[in-house]
Copies of this chain bind each other. A is one copy, B any other.
């Protein structure tokens, strides 16, 4: 396994990234050594550098890929049009997408401070783009009279925090199915935004 030839690959090798993602999510970037990641892959530490420039690139690559996947997936799914329908689609999408990527989400939220300044700026820009997707829907709904929103930015942040919070408590096989959770959250979000 490895890159084709010459200089190191632009994209972290998938097995290395998967191992790093698991470990970063469970123990945190700073607490995970290259040797631990290598052991998880079944290789010596030096071999990792065939797939990644350094440890920081490992973190940045997975965070950036996650944010891009989030934005792309929503663009694919965005029905456009009626703000109420768009928001419902987004709420359900957000919960589903985040629940399917618990490790990546955890890392995206917890490891921002371990990014170099340049990388921090890049990831933060992606986050802002997603926040503006939500804020845009709320603004449209406010303009059309569908939502009774005083401050679209504040409400967007409130909705995102609420939805992402599912990750901290929901466990598969629990009392509620994910479909049920989706339903109830959408109900709460909708009610909190209409007069």
Contacts and interface: CB of A to CB of B under 8 A. Distances in A.
Contacts of A1: none
A181 interface: yes
A14 interface: no
B110 A184 contact: no
A28 B24 CA distance: 13
Most chain B CB inside 10 Å of its own CB: which residue of A151, A189, A191: A191
Contact of A176 (B110, B151, B184): B151
A150 interface: yes
Interface string A152-170: 0111011011101110110
A157 B184 contact: no
Contacts of A157: 165-166, 168-169
A129 to B, nearest CB: 15
Contact of A150 (B155, B184, B192): B184
A7 interface: no
Nearest to A156: B169
A93 interface: no
11 contacts: A26-B113, A27-B113, A28-B28, A151-B175, A154-B181, A157-B165, A160-B165, A161-B168, A162-B162, A191-B191, A192-B192
